[in-house]
Every structure is written in C-alpha cells, then in structure tokens.
Structure 1
Amino acid sequence: MTAPIAIRPDGTRRAVTRTWVPEVPVALEFNGLSYAVMMATPQDLEDFATGFALNEGLASHPSDVTDLAVAEVAQGWIVRASLSGLEIDKLTDRVRRRVAESSCGLCGIENLAEVARPLPTVTAHAAIDPQAIFAALGQLREHQPLARETGAAHAAAWVAEDGRIGLIREDVGRHNALDKLVGAMARAGQPLAPGFVLSTARCSFEIVEKAVRGGATTLVTLSLPTSMAVERAAAAELSLWALARADEVTLVNDASA
C-alpha cells in the first residue's frame, strides 16, 4: 500500500500521514443465533449490542440484554448476548426475515409495511434553548478523539439542557454511533430526556427512528433531514433541529409543550 499524497491545485505534492478509522465486520449473536453482521468500529461494542437490541425491538429494557461477551476472531469481532422477554421462535423468525432483507434491501410488501410501522409518541417535553445547541457544538470537537485522529468517524452525543455534552460515542457508521449512545445511556440507567441527542449523521429516517425508540424527545443534526425524516419526526412528536452550525441552526419540527 502506497503512502497517501496530498496534491494542491498548482500541482505541488506532499506526503501526508493519515490514520484510518477502524472498520471491521462485527457479528451480533443473540441467544446463540447469528442476527446481523455490521460494519463498525470495534470499540464500545457492549453498548453497541445493547443499543442495537433496544432499537431493533429485540429488547424492551437494558436488563433484557445479559451475558454480554466480546471476542476478536480472525475475520473480525463477535458480540454474544442473551435476550429475555422475547420468545425464541420470534427471534428465529426475525433472523429469517433479516437474512431475506439483506439480499435485496427493503423489498416486498412485508418490508414496506415494516418501514411504515408507527413510531411511539415521545413524551411531552420543553423546548430546547438554541444557546444550548450552540454551546454543544462548541464542545463537540474536543469530545471526538476518533474523528480528530482520522477525520472519518461519526458521533452521537447526549447533551444536557444547559448545553453540556454528557456522553458521546463514535463509530465509522452513523447508525452504529447512535446505537452505541442509546446502549451506553441505557446501561447507565440514564434517559435521553430531558436534554437532547446531537448527531453528526445525515438526518435520514433511520436516525429519527433510533432517536425516538431510544427515548429521545429532541434530536439535533448537522445536516438537513430527508422528507421522510421530517414526516416521521412530526408523527412521533419529536422536536427536530437541523443544519446545526456555529452561527445558525434550523428548527424543523417544534413538538415542545
């Protein structure tokens, strides 16, 4: 592998040193069944498995996810966990359907119906002061060691009402970072509200869904949302802020009481 070279518009070149963000296959096994293989950054994997199970509806409480074990293998990493509260035949059925989905994406009436399934309505909440968002943005970089080192990692953070970043998780995958945050907060017994979730991800409908299912009442993202993200946020009564910058932030959906 050749060393990276930076090339300027005038044609001059210089050798640069880069650290690449880790991206490896991470297999998630629940109750002895292989549920999914995700491309992820191999850190905070216990949080990842817990948040993934909660956001997928495989668990309703972090105490449902037990016996967490993380192992590095030749091909990547394996995270094993036991799930309670979900009958084994239901888990087997979810595994079967997930394998079918992986080959063709969201295909067929059943999968389209799954995408459109209603989200729970978030709890009543007060409006977030925009100054808290600006304060969090000012701290964000210092809380992202992986992004500073590689320039290629997403982050999801829980931010207190005063704008203080209380917890952050990073990953090469934007969904993974949010799963890790949900899992870490759940394992610590700390709800996502009051306060808000700040995500560096593109605001797609999946980010909105994970925020809602994780218990957030307000989501702030650095990019603008898709049309479906806006629709899902409104239906779930999730307050949504987007295009968060140091000098401006856009209130997309105000569902505050």
Structure 2
Amino acid sequence: MTDDVADACLPAFEALHVTRCRADGTGTDADDVVVSEVPVAITFNGLSHAVMMATPTDLEAMALGFALSEGLIASPAQCYGIDVTAGRLGCEVALEVAQQAFVQLKHKRRSMEGRSGCGLCGVDSLAALDLQPEPLPARPPVPVAAVLQAMAQLADHQPVNRATGGCHAAGWATPDGALQFAMEDVGRHNALDKLIGRLAQRRLLGTAGFVVMSSRASYELVRKCARVGIGTLATVSAPSTLAVAIAQQAGLVLYGFSRGQQAVRYAGVAGGAGSAPG
C-alpha cells in the first residue's frame, strides 16, 4: 500500500446547473460545483462489513484508517492489501487482513450503514457501544499557540471545500504547529479515518503530533483518536458531553472553539491556558 496511489474511483465534486435566487424574486442561471457523496462498501476478506456515505477520494487511506480506528485490526501490518473498485452504484474497498484479525472481526461483526452525520448507525444495543478508551501514554504538552497556528493553516489544505463549501477536513500537525497535510470528506468521521490511514501509510502513527478538524468534536472522533494513540485533538466548533468524558478517561487533550487567538480546553493537561471564545 502506498499513499500516492490515485484511488479515487469517482470525482470529488460535480458541476451542476443552478439558479441563484434573490430576495426580490429574480434569479440568475449559473454553474456551480457540489461535493460528491456516494456509497462506499468496505469488505474484509470478502465479508461485507459496512457501507459508508463518503466523498470517493483517498479510499485506500479511509478504509485502512477505519479498520484501525474501529479496532478491527491491531496494526497496519495486519492489512495485507487493499483494492478499490467503482461500480454503477458506488465504490467498494476490499481489504485483505490477517486471519487472526478476521476471526476477531467476525466475532464482533455488525451490519452497519454509516452516514455523514452519524457514527452509531447499525449499533443495535447499548452494550455494543465501546466507550472505554485505553489510557494514552503521557506526552509533552502541545502549546495552545501551536494548536491555533495549525488550525489557521487548515483552510489552505482544503481544495475540495474551496470549490464546493461542503467538505470537512482533518489535518495532521507537528508539535510546533506546522500543518503537514489534511484529508477531506463530506463526513467528519471519514475525514479523520482518511487522515489516520494516511498516517499509517506514511508510518507516522505513534509519532509526535496532533489533529485539527473543521468540525465539532463528537464522541466518535475522540474515540478514534484515542484508539490509535493520538493524544491531542482540536476542533473548530463545540464538543459534546460524551466527547469530553471519553477524552478525560483516555487522558486525551481536547480543544474546542479553536479559532483566531482563542481555544477552549475541555479535557487534558496542555501547554498554556485555553479560554472561552469572546
């Protein structure tokens, strides 16, 4: 698996004819571009596991990140290959994984349809929720100034969102706040999975750095970061109570409202004090 494979099976956005409507009742015909959202089926050793609604770019990275962030494989080494194909109804991403991982996957397999705004589709009982993160190892704190610096760079790494205004992004930054790259998707969970997969492809998982995201902080995002050992997550909008609780349990540093010169620290011990947005 390499991160330079052009695995987009469909375009990231499409041109459409629209009407720009005014308050006075007049309108103008125009061309616009709209972000793509298509079904992406993920299979493991031929067994169907999930159908995600996603932007059909960087699907190898998304599938690998999904497998890691959901605990379906223990390490990138358990993934032997990924094949992406396009069909009339969407895309399929087929992963070949180690037999040990496949046996464990079958034990906890559930039928699931993922949507861009929901991370619990298909969970059929409260007992199926995995809300007990493993404690993260202690790391040197990331200064708030570095978090804000990285967040300020995120828009420059979002070409699809610049074109459509419809994409979330998850970016990876070094501890000094230099944003290295970002991944885009119509769904925030997919954007993070794409980022985790890209980190795995580049052998950067476990290295010093942190994640910035153009979304709110849901519990799923915190849980995914904790599962793969990412110790700091900053989002541009608010967290949920469950996101804060899981971050506190894991020892993950969680920032929300990371905008301009301020951020709010909701969990963890970090470098410098966060403050409420004015």
Report the TM-score, using the length of structure 2 for normalisation.
Answer: 0.83
Q: Does 1:86 align with 2:100?
A: yes
Q: Can you list the C-alpha shifts for 1:31-73, whole angstroms capped at 9, x where unaligned?
A: 1111111111111111111101111111111111122111111
Q: Is the 8 A contact 2:72 2:101 kept in 1?
A: no
Aligned position for 2:243:
229
Instruction: Give the Cα separation in 1 of the matches to 2:103 and 2:153.
Output: 46
Aligned position for 1:146:
160
Which stretch has the larger CA shift, 154-163 or 125-134?
A: 125-134
Counterpart code for 2:27: R
Counterpart code for 1:230: V
Q: Does 1:51 align with 2:68?
A: no
Q: Can you list the C-alpha shifts for 1:153-204, whole angstroms capped at 9, x where unaligned?
A: 0100111112111121111111000001001101111125422100112211
The number of residues matched between the two structures is 253
Aligned position for 2:41:
27
Aligned position for 1:250:
264
Q: Which runs of 5+ in 2 are unaligned?
A: 1-14, 272-278
Secondary structure, counterpart of 2:100 in structure 1: coil
Q: Does 1:173 align with 2:187?
A: yes
The match for 2:53 among 33, 39, 55 is 39
Aligned position for 1:136:
150
The match for 1:107 among 124, 132, 148 is 124
CA drift at 1:94: 3.0
CA drift at 1:136: 1.5
Which stretch has the larger CA shift, 48-57 or 126-135?
A: 126-135
Q: Does 1:98 align with 2:111?
A: yes
Aligned position for 2:232:
218
Q: Is the 8 A contact 2:199 2:205 kept in 1?
A: yes
Structure 1 residues 243 and 227: CA distance shift in structure 2, 3 A? same
Q: Is the 8 A contact 2:112 2:123 kept in 1?
A: no
Instruction: Give the Cα separation in 2 of the matches to 1:87 and 1:7.
Output: 53
Instruction: Give the Cα separation in 1 of the matches to 2:112 and 2:264.
Output: 38
Aligned position for 1:239:
253
Larger relative helix fraction? 1
Q: CA RMSD in A?
A: 2.4
Counterpart code for 1:247: Q
Counterpart code for 1:29: T
Q: Which runs of 5+ in 1 are unaligned?
A: none
CA drift at 1:2: 8.0
Structure 1 residues 19 and 192: CA distance shift in structure 2, 3 A? farther
Instruction: Give the Cα separation in 1 of the matches to 2:63 and 2:80.
Output: 10
Instruction: Give the Cα separation in 2 of the matches to 1:49 and 1:101.
Output: 13
Report the TM-score, using the length of structure 1 for normalisation.
Answer: 0.90
CA drift at 1:86: 2.6
Instruction: Give the Cα separation in 1 of the matches to 2:99 and 2:231.
Output: 26
Larger relative strand fraction? 2
- Of all paired residues, the percent bearing the same amino acid is 38
